[in-house]
Amino acid sequence: MASDPTRMCELLVGLDHVDVLDVEVEGLEVTITIETRQTVVGCSSCGVLARSKGRRSVRLADVNHGFRRVSVIWIKRRWFCPDPDCPMGSWTEEDRQIAHPRSLMLDRAARWVTEQVGRFARSVSEVAETLGCSWHTVNDAVLLYGEALIDLPGRFGEVNAIGLDEVLFLREGTYRTQRFSTQIVDVRRGQLLDVVPGRKGAEPKAWLEGQGPEWLAKIDYATLDLSGSYRAVFDAVIPNATQVADPFHVIKLANEKLDEARRRVQNETLGHRGRKDDPLYRGRRLLTRAKQRLGDHGEAKLMGLLKAGDPRGDVATAWTAKEAVRELYAHIDPELALEWVEALSDDMDNIEQPIEVRSLGRTLKRWKHQIAAWHESQVSNGPTEAVNNLIKRVKRAAFGFTKFRHYRIRALLYAGKPDWSQLQTVSPP
């Protein structure tokens, strides 16, 4: 127990290896002035006793004390090497227990903001406002400590089912050019493993290869949207894993084809794009809704609209095709799934069928093994989508990211399930 008032103050400040020179309270602002006790220092290059070159003070943000905002003025010692042949010249003292040299926050405050922003998705501006420091001060600290935390080795263990999915993370420049990234997700645990730039195969392939053959050998299932580039990645890197087409994307495709059919028939019968009184246009939402969610009234209404606007029955056929695709996920035995997909795609890819239904049939045929594999594996990109939604929340809070690195850090802090208990001990480079 301390009884010396200065010592008590030092303990209260939480830095027991510094001298507190002054504590000033002005309203709700507290300013604490400190210095280190290192009065004798050797040159780190040649070992000669360094000489003082005066002081330079720096203001560091700290965590609040109740409603009071606290900042620390650290009067840093400057030194120079008296040996004229030594390349060291002069330098300013560093002490990482006080603050990281690239941060304008006290070390403990930097760790605190990293958790507030990274884990709880509070916005950088909100946290900066709370502490009374600048946006950049908070953001720099989150990136510095956050990156060290997410890149600790062993952040994730063995993975049995992996999913790839593309995500838009930035629009930039005058033309709002879209920039995509690929999420790599453990789809069983719903954990974001990493994000890599682009939506082509090269980056995810390099990432997977970087995990090593032992890790890759544990992957039994690989989920994907109906994208050829991700399929090529899995074919090349984990050829023994069972590929699973994500049900959400398969049903989405069936709905897109239905929508194409509706727009084509509308144009052919009325000579213009959909207007609000056109029967098919009025039915556009009922069409893409699942049949069991229509209700008797909705179904009767839809049939009436089709009768009025779909003379050759093309839209009705595309609707039936879409419902058949949905049905595929309702109650098909794993043993029969492949047969079912084959029969369905044969029916669709028939000269009698509307062009959109034939196109759907060809895609189903091309992906039949991946589609049927869902029934055995029951894994989907659902967790990938959930992770995407989490990340959207972060993106909104951050008003978009200017750099891929920043986006990666924030996404992994929020959805990558880092070990937050290690935040107290992690040491940024």
- The CA distance from 288 to 277, in Å, is 18
User: Should residue 86 be labelled a site residue for Zn ion when binding is judged by CB under 5 A?
Assistant: yes
Residue 279: partners with Cβ closer than 8 Å, 6 or more residues away: 304, 305, 306, 308, 309, 310
Min dist CB 80 to Zn ion, Å, is: 9
Min dist CB 42 to Zn ion, Å, is: 8
Q: Which is nearer to Zn ion, 46 or 397 (CB)?
A: 46
User: Should residue 128 be labelled a site residue for Zn ion when binding is judged by CB under 5 A?
Assistant: no
Min dist CB 50 to Zn ion, Å, is: 7
Binding segment (CB under 5 A) for Zn ion, from list 37-45, 54-62, 99-107, 112-120? 37-45
User: Should residue 79 be labelled a site residue for Zn ion when binding is judged by CB under 5 A?
Assistant: no
Q: Which is nearer to Zn ion, 86 or 294 (CB)?
A: 86
**Subset of residues 38 to 57 that bind Zn ion, contact rule: CB under 5 A:** 43, 45-46, 48
Q: In what order do the strands lie in the sheet with 242-245?
A: 191-197, 177-186, 161-172, 221-224, 242-245
User: Should residue 344 be labelled a site residue for Zn ion when binding is judged by CB under 5 A?
Assistant: no
- C-alpha neighbours within 13 Å on the C-beta side of residue 165: 27
Residue 168 · residue 138 · CB < 8 Å: no
Pairing of strands 51-61, 221-224: unpaired
Binding segment (CB under 5 A) for Zn ion, from list 29-37, 73-81, 240-248, 270-278? 73-81
Q: Which is nearer to Zn ion, 46 or 216 (CB)?
A: 46
Min dist CB 174 to Zn ion, Å, is: 52
**Which candidate, 111, 117, 115, 110, places its Cα nearest to that of 394?**
117
Q: Which is nearer to Zn ion, 48 or 343 (CB)?
A: 48
**Subset of residues 244 to 273 that bind Zn ion, contact rule: CB under 5 A:** none
Min dist CB 81 to Zn ion, Å, is: 3
Residue bearing tokens 């006290």: 106
Q: Helix or strand or coil: residue 281?
A: helix
Binding segment (CB under 5 A) for Zn ion, from list 35-43, 211-219, 246-254, 372-380? 35-43
Min dist CB 91 to Zn ion, Å, is: 10
Min dist CB 45 to Zn ion, Å, is: 4
Q: Which is nearer to Zn ion, 45 or 389 (CB)?
A: 45
- Contacts with Zn ion by CB under 5 A: the residue count is 8
- The CA distance from 101 to 64, in Å, is 21
Q: 275: phi > 0 → left, psi -120 to 50 → alpha, else beta; which?
A: beta
Q: Is the dihedral of CA 9, 15, 19, 23 positive or negative?
A: negative
- The CA distance from 381 to 243, in Å, is 12
Binding segment (CB under 5 A) for Zn ion, from list 29-37, 75-83, 163-171, 288-296? 75-83
User: Should residue 81 be labelled a site residue for Zn ion when binding is judged by CB under 5 A?
Assistant: yes
Min dist CB 43 to Zn ion, Å, is: 3
- The CA distance from 150 to 309, in Å, is 56
Cα-Cα-Cα-Cα dihedral of 245, 246, 249, 253, to 10°? 40
- The CA distance from 408 to 411, in Å, is 5
Q: How far is CA 398 from the centre of its chain?
A: 12
**Subset of residues 408 to 427 that bind Zn ion, contact rule: CB under 5 A:** none
Kindly tell me which residue out of 88, 216, 251, 338 binds Zn ion, with binding defined by CB under 5 A. 88
List of residues contacting Zn ion (CB under 5 A): 43, 45-46, 48, 81, 83, 86, 88
